Every structure is written in C-alpha cells, then in structure tokens.
Amino acid sequence: MDILETDAYDRRQRRNMSCALLFSLLPFFLATGLYFYLWTPDTPASITLAGVKSAPTLLLAAVVLSWNGGQSVLGVMGGLLLSAVGDCCLVWPELFLHGMGAFAVAHLLYSLTFLSSRYAAHSSSSWTRILYPILFLAGGGFYIYIYPFVQKTPNSDILIPAVGVYVALISLMGALAIRTCQTVTLLGSLSFMVSDMSLAMQIFKVTAPMEHGNTIVMVTYYLAQLLIAVGDVKAVENKDDFAKWKRS
C-alpha cells in the first residue's frame, strides 16, 4: 500500500473503532438513564438504589477492561471499581467516610495511570502550564472556603484532615490530567472536581438545599467517569498508532 492508501485505511480503522466503542458504551447510557428515571429526592436508601447508582460505573469498568485488558486493573478500571464502591457507600449517610476513602484511592489510581507510559507526556504550552497552579489554588481555596462548615459536623476531628487529603488528591488528579494533553481526560477530571465540589457544598450545608442538587452532582459525575474511561481507551489506541508509525 502507498502512503495515501495507508492513511485512508488508518482513518477507516479509527472510524470503525469509534463506532465499536460507542456501541460498547450503550449499556452505560441505558443504565444512567435508568438511574435518573428511578431516582427521586424521596427515594429511601436501599441495596436496590445502591445497585442502580453504581451500575453505570461498573459498566464503564467492563468497557475499559474489554478494550485495554488486564493492564487497566490497577489503573482506570480499578479506579472505576472503587468509584462504584464509593457510589454504594454514599447511598447511606453514615458510610460517607468510607465512600470518600474509596473515591480517594480511585483518584490515586487515576493519577498513577496518567503518569504511565500509555499517556506519553507532551511538551506543555504556556496556557497549559498556567492550569497547574490554577487547579491547586482552586482546590486549596475551596477547602479553605468549606473549612468552617466542616468544623460544624459531629465528627469534624476526622473529617477536617480527611477532606483536606481528598481535595489534595483530586487536585493532583486534575493536574496530571493536564500532562496527558488529552482533551477528554482533562475535561473528565475537571467535571469530577465540579461534581465533588457541588456534593461537598450540599453535604456540609454550605448552600441552601437545591431542588436539582443531586442531578447536578450525578450528571457531572457520570460525565466525568465516561470521559476518563474513553480517554483511557483512546490513550492505548494512540499509543498503538504511534508504535505502528515508528515501525513504518
């Protein structure tokens, strides 16, 4: 094949892979729609709710495993599984700390994945370098802002340091997402931060109860997990394309 034929073949392959990826994500979209259809503010905590809430994240984990194999177990797939554990825990308010712990380890796994060879580091432009301090300043500023409200909680002696560590980990995850120079991965990380900030403001009663508060949290959360999962699949695909280019 000449260069033009090879280029056309590669474009066809990428288009086919994108269609196949979209098809494999259909169960996630259906499960997400089911959650929003069934959930109401009066829905009581139950095993059923925990299962429906965590199903979209578990389905994303299955997609990442099917595309990337076992290498994702200690990476994005592992982070998605831990996120599903966090989803279940947050159904019951008394398990909030356990849920936050599960999500904290998930962010750590995401961060380690963004540092791996699958996400080849690219030279940062001036505007991306500016994002690093902005993200950490935003995280630190948000922690300072909610600190007085966390102090008012019954178990503030545990929550104050725990929330601080969590904010540091999610800020680190967002900063390392910049390093990947993958738009979907960065948008997923930022969406996760927005979701968690919204949740924290409701949990610690920083704002008055919002009519659509849970919807905001869950829409940005499921979007975040979707973008991070797709970014991980794309990272492996791009690495394979680069390897083929080097061999040619």
Residue 40, pLDDT score: 85
Confidence check: pLDDT of 122 > 70? no
By C-alpha distance, which of 40, 118, 32, 129 is closest to 74?
118
pLDDT tens-digit series, residues 63-76? 999 998 887 888 89
Higher per-residue pLDDT: 123 or 35:
35
Higher per-residue pLDDT: 168 or 248:
168
Beta-carbon contacts of residue 59 (< 8 Å; ≥ 6 apart): 27, 28, 31
Residue 234, pLDDT score: 86
Question: Considering only 29-38, 94-103, 126-135, 175-184, which range has the smallest mean pLDDT?
Answer: 126-135
Instruction: Grade residue 127 by pLDDT with cuts at 50, 70 and 90.
Output: low
Instruction: Grade residue 211 by pLDDT with cuts at 50, 70 and 90.
Output: confident
% of residues, the chain, pLDDT over 90: 65
Long-range contact pairs involving 116-123 (C-beta distance under 8 Å, separation at least 24): 116/75, 117/239, 118/71, 118/232, 118/235, 118/236, 118/239, 119/179, 119/180, 119/182, 119/185, 119/235, 120/239, 120/242, 121/179, 121/180, 121/181, 122/179, 122/180, 122/181
Q: For the purposes of burial, counting CB atoms within 10 Å of the CB of 206, is it exposed (0-12), middle (13-18) or buried (19 or more)?
A: middle
Number of residues assigned to the chain: 248
What is the pTM assigned to this prediction?
Answer: 0.88
**Dist. CA 223–CA 231, nearest whole Å:** 12
Confidence check: pLDDT of 245 > 50? no
Beta-carbon contacts of residue 153 (< 8 Å; ≥ 6 apart): 159, 204
Please state the separation of Cα 101 from the chain's center in Å: 15
For residue 74, give the DSSP letter: T
**Dist. CA 14–CA 234, nearest whole Å:** 10
Residue 131, pLDDT score: 82
Residues 171, 135 contacting (CB under 8 angstroms):
yes
What do you get for the CA distance between the two ends of the chain, in Å?
12
Mean pLDDT calculated for residue range 190-217: 93
Instruction: Grade residue 179 by pLDDT with cuts at 50, 70 and 90.
Output: confident
**Dist. CA 174–CA 137, nearest whole Å:** 12
Instruction: Grade residue 247 by pLDDT with cuts at 50, 70 and 90.
Output: very low
For 238, other C-beta atoms within 10 Å of its C-beta total 15
Residues 195, 156 contacting (CB under 8 angstroms):
no
Residue 124, pLDDT score: 60
**Dist. CA 202–CA 215, nearest whole Å:** 12
Residue 78, pLDDT score: 96
Confidence check: pLDDT of 241 > 60? no
